[in-house]
Amino acid sequence: MSQTLATPAPGASRWAQYYALTKPRVVQLIVFCALIGMLLAEPGWPDLRVAGAAVLGIWLVASAAAAFNCLVEQHIDAKMARTAWRPTAKGELSSAQTLLFSILLCAAGSALLYLWVNPLTMWLTFATFIGYAVIYTLLLKPMTPQNIVIGGASGAMPPVLGWAAMRNDVGPEALMLFLIIFLWTPPHFWALALYRAEDYRKSGLPMLPITHGAEFTRLQVLLYTLVLFAATLLPFVYRMSGWIYLCSAVVLGLVFMAYALQLWRDYSDALARRTFRYSILYLSLLFSALLIDHYLNPWLT
């Protein structure tokens, strides 16, 4: 899950610099998706003590992964206008400071999940940390233009973590939520990569618009939105949701496909930017509709 981030004010305090390392807007979306998984796992309101501990623990570990990503990619970040402001890229925080910060956040979050939620959620969250911080950031991202597809598995885990926190298992419902985010990630990220292509070219990363060209990337965005549309119908087919969600999924999906089709046929950076921004709104509204449907039709759970 990627988003553009707000730049700290000039002369920001040390605390503000550490906070910026956590990529707060990205982590907010991660926690939102995890919370959706928690709420959908229970027919009524979940245990607030467990849910609160799970939210905080997942937030801490996700923030740790974001900080570790800033550490590993500080030299790449310095070459890109979108990320050159980060404290690690500017040399405001040392590698040792960033690494210690990441370790402390990960340890605190893991301990909280283990002691106050359940061991399954802790191990799944830690595996997600490894998947993003090590497998995706260190191995996949610099090696293959399919990095965001394979690495998208880590970004798709939050609702699974939320579900496991409440149920202490991973059911088919959680896996459907995982699939939706997994298929949403490539068109979301590639829309960003299209209008930030020069940034990625400077970075040396093998992003799809650089290795295969913009036209091929736009086609992939369109194809993924088609597959994503089909995947979003699964909760209704499985009777995890009702008509409110189905109607919302159809309308939101058609709009997303319309953006992708226009992007494929008549590209512009402005359109790619609008597509990227809509993709964030799309996922938030889709899961919100699923949640509304869940509470209006509790017998479906």
**How far, in Å, CA of 194 to CA of 187, rounded?**
10
Q: Is the pLDDT of residue 163 over 50?
A: yes
What residues contact 266, with CB distance under 8 A and at least 6 apart?
none
Mean residue pLDDT of the chain comes to: 88
DSSP string, 176-195: HHHHHHHHHHHHHHHHHHHH
Q: Is the pLDDT of residue 254 over 90?
A: yes
- Which residue, among 290, 232, 235, 239, has the nearest Cα to 256 in the 3D structure? 232
Q: Can you give the pLDDT at residue 5?
A: 43
H or E stretch including 4?
A: none
What residues contact 241, with CB distance under 8 A and at least 6 apart?
235, 290, 293, 294, 297, 300
Q: Does residue 89 contact residue 139 with C-beta atoms inside 8 Å?
A: no
DSSP string, 19-32: HHHT-HHHHHHHHH
Q: Does residue 38 contact residue 173 with C-beta atoms inside 8 Å?
A: no
**How far, in Å, CA of 204 to CA of 224, rounded?**
25
Can you read off the two tokens belonging to residue 84?
A: 């050159």
pLDDT tens by residue, 190-202: 998 898 877 777 7
Q: Is the pLDDT of residue 251 over 50?
A: yes
- Average pLDDT, integer, range 149-153: 77
Q: Is the pLDDT of residue 8 over 60?
A: no
The model's pTM is 0.86
Can you read off the two tokens belonging to residue 24?
A: 């707060």
Q: Does residue 164 contact residue 171 with C-beta atoms inside 8 Å?
A: no
In the chain, where the domains are located: 1-170, 172-301
Q: Can you give the pLDDT at residue 153?
A: 83
Q: Is the pLDDT of residue 11 over 70?
A: no
**How far, in Å, CA of 171 to CA of 74, rounded?**
38
pLDDT: which is higher, 80 or 217: 217
pLDDT tens by residue, 208-227: 888 888 899 999 999 999 99
Q: Is the pLDDT of residue 1 over 80?
A: no
Can you read off the two tokens belonging to residue 294?
A: 């869940």
pLDDT band at residue 110 using 50, 70 and 90 as cut-offs:
very high
Q: Is the pLDDT of residue 89 over 90?
A: no
- Residue 237 neighbours by CB distance under 10 Å: 10
Q: Can you give the pLDDT at residue 29?
A: 85
Superfamily of domain 1-170: UbiA prenyltransferase (1.10.357.140)
SS3 labels along 107-174: HHHHHHHHHHCCHHHHHHHHHHHHHHHHHHHHHHCCCCCCHHHHHHHHHCCHHHHHHHHHHCCCCHHH
| DSSP code, position 6 | P
Q: Can you give the pLDDT at residue 4?
A: 41
